[in-house]
Amino acid sequence: MLTVESTANTGRQYLPENPETLSPNQSLMPLTATVNDQDHLVVGGCDVVELVEKYGSPLYILDEHTLRTTCRQYRESLQKYYSGESLAIYASKAWSCMAICAIVDSEGLGFDVVSGGEIYTTLQAGISPTKIYFHGNNKSREELNFALDSGVTIIVDNFLELEMLAEITGDRQATANIILRLTPGIECHTHEYIRTGHLDSKFGFDPNQIEETFTLVGRHDYLNCIGLHAHIGSQIFEQQPHKDLGDVLAGWLKKAGEYGLNLEILNLGGGLGIRYTESDDPPSIEAWCRNVAESLEAACLKYGVGLPKLIVEPGRSLVGTACITAYTVGSRKVVPEIRTYVSVDGGMSDNPRPITYQSLYRSVVANRMSDECNETVTVAGKHCESGDVVIKDARLPTPQPGDILVVLDTGAYNYSMASNYNRIGRPAAVLVNEGEAQVIIRRETYDDLVRQDCLPERLRQI
């Protein structure tokens, strides 16, 4: 039995201490993470080293229990703290694939989608269109037609879209349910690229044009406006911005009533942060839902409006912690007195977040979980780009070629933002649960990489 002191400087330090009660977004590892007799990391009852042997490397490993727990915590917390009707919808941009959609659906959540491709993925997974909400600041006519054919709710972002929808629904003589996205003008402290609620944002109607927006909507016979939406940003740890948002939206709900729009829904977006490193300190899912619910109720009371149906749309906090990425360690380069590079067999093509947002991650050596972290190394990817660094200054037990290096908390915005840079195929993803593993996304092959290429006859050499 290892003592607390002896695990403090090993990969074991990141294991969840009280997985039964923990809010997944506050854990550094999936809730089922343990270590077995061989000193290997185990997730969902599966030995991570064996998973890599069987399914190859790099490998995304998604823990079903953590994902389901997160969904339940959202659903139950909203029910507990909000007296009106409520619904959590998964912002599937965080990771859209059929298996995740099916799991999230079976837990009773709905879906936020942002493209024809995301609509298609959810429909292919068997999701009812009544649970799908279609976002986007520049939806194409084709996408709008697809959305209307499918019967999903459209979250209208701007005047052009409003006009286009009025025209299309008029031609079809069929009513569409819409929700209006407004820019709330609320600042929050997160990376500049993932802030969306401040006024200088490409998303949503400007609140200075709210009267014009409400008037226009009221004029179109085939547009049935059922609610308002606002989203203020992502990876947020503070609670005040969502408290303010509840107030702003309830005020607009009242105003909409003055324009003859009787709205049933307020959607307060997503944004709850997760713990990527020890210093990240997000509120729990329950505390976040409580804050959103209570502040909205208070605001509705203040403005004298009835309680709308409350929708929230988490992405990162729903899938982020449930997944880890396993890589195989390869070459090492020591730059004396400057840095030691340890390269892995993936990098910016399977996780573009470090190079895009300077995001920080923690990692462990999955085949030596109890070895002391005695070295500081920079974990580099294998792409032809100097900035392709997975983790700068990672503390690890001297990584050796063939070690399985696992990066934690890679469920959100990793696969969904993955690319084929350098013609590297996207890794496979396996779903693990109670000792069983199933492939949910196949690894891309060389054939997959040239599948869309066309070689005109006159250029053919062979």
Nearer to ligand LLP, 182 or 305 (CB): 182
What residues pair up with 394 in beta bridges, in sequence order?
Answer: 377
Nearer to ligand LLP, 95 or 214 (CB): 95
Q: What's the min distance (Å) between Cβ of 249 and ligand LLP? A: 14
Sole residue written with tokens 């802030």? 195
- Provide the angle, in degrees to the nearest 10, between the axes of the packed helices 240-258 and 210-219: 50
Q: What's the min distance (Å) between Cβ of 39 and ligand LLP? A: 32
- Which positions lie near ligand LLP, rule CB under 6 A? 91, 94, 112, 135, 194, 196, 231, 234-235, 269-272, 313-317, 353, 357, 413
Nearer to ligand LLP, 168 or 194 (CB): 194
Q: What's the min distance (Å) between Cβ of 333 and ligand LLP? A: 28
Nearer to ligand LLP, 110 or 269 (CB): 269
Q: What's the min distance (Å) between Cβ of 351 and ligand LLP? A: 10
Q: Please report the sign of the dihedral spanned by the C-alpha atoms of residue 247, residue 252, residue 257, residue 262.
A: negative
Q: Is 214 helix (H, G, I), strand (E, B) or coil?
A: helix
Buried b (16+ CB within 10 A) or exposed e, 221-259: ebbebbbbbbbbbbbbbebebbbbbbbbbbbbbbbbbeb
Cα–Cα nearest to 195, from 295, 110, 276, 273? 273
User: Which residues fall within 8 angstroms of residue 401, CB to CB, at 6 or more apart?
Assistant: 329, 330, 331, 332
Both tokens assigned to 284: 């729990």
Catalytic residue among 188, 300, 323, 384: 384
Both tokens assigned to 268: 């307060």
Contact yes or no for 176/148 (Cβ under 8 A): yes
Catalogue the E-assigned strands of 36-96: 41-43, 46-47, 59-63, 86-91
10 Å Cβ neighbour count for 44? Answer: 25
Q: What is the DSSP string of 293-329?
A: HHHHHHHHHHHT-PPPEEEE--SHHHHTTTEEEEEEE
Q: What's the min distance (Å) between Cβ of 231 and ligand LLP? A: 4
Nearer to ligand LLP, 157 or 403 (CB): 157
- Provide the angle, in degrees to the nearest 10, between the axes of the packed helices 285-303 and 64-81: 30
Q: What's the min distance (Å) between Cβ of 105 and ligand LLP? A: 17
Q: What's the min distance (Å) between Cβ of 276 and ligand LLP? A: 10
Q: What's the min distance (Å) between Cβ of 207 and ligand LLP? A: 16
Q: Is 260 helix (H, G, I), strand (E, B) or coil?
A: coil
Q: What is the DSSP letter of 13?
A: G
Q: Is 421 helix (H, G, I), strand (E, B) or coil?
A: helix
Sole residue written with tokens 């029910």? 79
Sole residue written with tokens 């993955």? 418
What residues pair up with 365 in beta bridges, in sequence order?
Answer: 405
Active site residue 384: yes
Both tokens assigned to 296: 């909205």
Nearer to ligand LLP, 139 or 316 (CB): 316
What residues are labeled active site? 384
